[in-house]
A and B are shown apart, each in its own frame.
Chain A
Amino acid sequence: MNTFFQTLIVGLRLGSIYALVALGYTMVYGIIRLINFAHGDFIMVGGYTMIFVMPLMLRLGLPAWLGVLAAIVVCALVGMGTELIAYRPVRRKGTNMTALITAIAMSLFLENLAQAIPAIGPNPKVSSQIFGNGGFKLGTVTMEYTTVITLVISGIVMLVLYAFTQRTRLGRAMRCVSEDKAAATLMGINVNSTILLTFGIGSGLAAIAALMYMAQYPKVYTTMGALLGLKAFVSAVLGGIGIIPGAMLGGIVIGLVESFTTSYISSSMADTFVFLILIVVLIIKPAGILGKNVGEKV
């Protein structure tokens, strides 16, 4: 029973992170149908920002996690910069495929750029302690508060995003853009600034994900976004990409699958099963767990 609880907790811990990252993927995809592969690297940008800002916070006597505010600003700027410099010109001239390739290029560009900056450099950096240790007992196993906080934050972010897209004028504009850009323009919606805003919010989320990631896995390195981003992307697809609650569900499912495979099947097969589950789900339900099958718009 202890093994079960332990495995469950590890699964939730991984899953909560994947869910937070997946929310960023799904949001951008939902609006402009672009799989922003650079999203994982925005997390790296947020991670390094906090590595540099946290010592300042501590020196000012503030809690280290307040560094996330700086990270949100930096990430949002980087995200919007990416949209302005890379994605928008490409979208204007090319197709969805060219935009996708640009996203992959952007991801590699950010990773290598970070490495070339002397203050970041090639060495991994380890953050200082972000939240205090502690947790509550589940059987004999400790459930850390950090994991709970991460899950709660994911939940809040999910609800806020959902409410934002459903209830506010800007959110409604986003949904319009995602349905039909031309019609949205005719309705007086500024398509370009709506997309820019989407990137700002999506990248800001990456900073929050980076904070929660570092609180549990305190190592930051330039390629950290690669596998993390891939797993989160899989989570988003599994839950139904473009659907906000789907990202959270998918993230937690992927985390649990990974953890339970490690404990009960084979510890080196975790990734194999993650991707196997993805294939199986996509065969049975191509639009993802929460997705509805809608015909492709022409």
Chain B
Amino acid sequence: MKSKKLISVMIALCMLLSLGITGITATAFAADDPIVIGIISPNTGTLAAYGTGIVTGVQLAAEEINAAGGILGRQVELVITDDQGDPTECLNAFNSLVAKGVTLIIGSATSGCTSAITDAANEEEVCILCPTGTADSLTTEDDYIFRACYADSFQGAIAAAYAKQAGFEKVGVVYCAADVYSKGLFDSFSKACEEYGIEVAASQSTASLDVQDYTNQFAAMVSAGVDFVYAPYYYDVIGPYVVPQARAAGYTGIIMGADGYDTTPDYVVAGADLTVFNDVYWTNHYDPGADSEIVRSFVAAYEAAYGSIPSAFGATGYDCLYIYKAAMEAAGSADAGDVRDALADTSTVYECVTGTFSLDESGTPVKGAAIISFQSDGSAVTSTLVDVVTQLP
């Protein structure tokens, strides 16, 4: 019943769209029209910090590009939509952008949301450049979906490689069985562990991302005797729930996570013993303290504009618009089909904040990951870069 309704809505939208396209082509040749780029991100809801990061990053890039004369002599105009971190809302946002005639989209933040719009984007022949959706299944060959971040098969494997390098032979995993991101990282981590000869001695899951108690899961890690637990979750549970509860359950070893740990230090309980955050490691897209010209100038410009250090979401959002710019300039056009062809060229090298890379056949960057650790003296939590890994061992 629901799918029937969805299909009829889609058909209605397609009809609207076909009307829209004929309307737009008449004016598309006017060179001074702005290039419209749509953003879909979770600007409200529990993952709002991600959306804010992406939107501010893209806005910063747009201001810079427009001040420097735009793309192909045309100004960039952004249309910001909100998916609330919800896949259904994401599809709604996508449809509203398509209805407005937007054919170049940056979004969404999470794999769960982005996977809800990939089919529709291919059908509508709309380009999607995903800033931080890391699930492997998002991008395939010959499609309209690209991304500015590495995929989970790489991200999970990096964590496994780190465990191996640190000398762990036995590890545990706590993950959410119902979330594309968490489950995807669990899969790639366990697969890599098998390759590296590491035993996954205990694996525990939670039924949803809304679970508030992780004590039993970590008690199981303690009884399995592991000192390295991979826990791919998002910051909103890592800060207040996962890490403090794991320590309270008697788990003292390393907790390792992925890019979802970004911004955790803003979500810890003030007044509680924050030394629990020592020995927490995570993989990220970039390190804001990196010693390179492009990162330094980006961080400085972002700080000047928004008064805070950009998260990886700000950085990848910023990169997304510059990748579109490079692709449009290579194609000499802002048409979705031409841009797609330019992005599909695997030989193009993009110099970005989150690394210098080219896109592989599926449209995923070939680049490294930063390994970051949390440190705390008890009153605040800070992040420190531990290592940058560019290739799997």
Contact = CB atoms under 8 A, between A and B. Distances in A.
Interface of A: 2-3, 6-7, 9-10, 13-14, 115, 121-124, 126-129, 133, 140-142, 144, 217-219, 221, 223, 227, 259, 262-263, 266-272
Contacts of B236: 124, 219, 221
Contact of A219 (B48, B205, B241, B272): B241
Contact of B216 (A7, A123, A124, A271): A7
A267 B217 contact: yes
**Counting chain B CB atoms within 10 Å of each CB, which of A2, A3, A122, A127 scores highest?**
A122
Contacts of B207: 267-272
Contact of A263 (B208, B219, B237, B250): B219
B180 interface: no
> Contact residue range for chain B?
35 or more
B383 interface: no
Contacts of B270: 126, 128-129
Contact of B219 (A6, A217, A271, A272): A6
Contact of A6 (B216, B240, B267): B216
Contacts of A129: 269-272
A269 B178 CA distance: 11
29 contacts: A6-B215, A10-B215, A14-B213, A115-B44, A115-B45, A124-B236, A124-B267, A126-B269, A126-B270, A127-B269, A128-B270, A128-B271, A129-B270, A140-B250, A217-B212, A217-B241, A218-B240, A218-B269, A223-B45, A227-B210, A259-B213, A262-B216, A263-B220, A267-B204, A267-B205, A268-B207, A270-B207, A270-B211, A271-B207
B122 to A, nearest CB: 30
A259 B249 CA distance: 14
B43 interface: yes
Nearest to B204: A267
Interface of B: 43-46, 48-49, 84, 177-178, 204-208, 210-213, 215-217, 219-220, 223, 236-237, 239-241, 248-250, 267-273
B216 A259 contact: yes
A120 to B, nearest CB: 11
A48 B305 CA distance: 29
A223 B219 CA distance: 28
A206 to B, nearest CB: 17
B216 A263 contact: yes
B374 to A, nearest CB: 15
User: Which of B236, B241, B272, B273 has its CB near the most chain A CB atoms (within 10 A)?
Assistant: B272
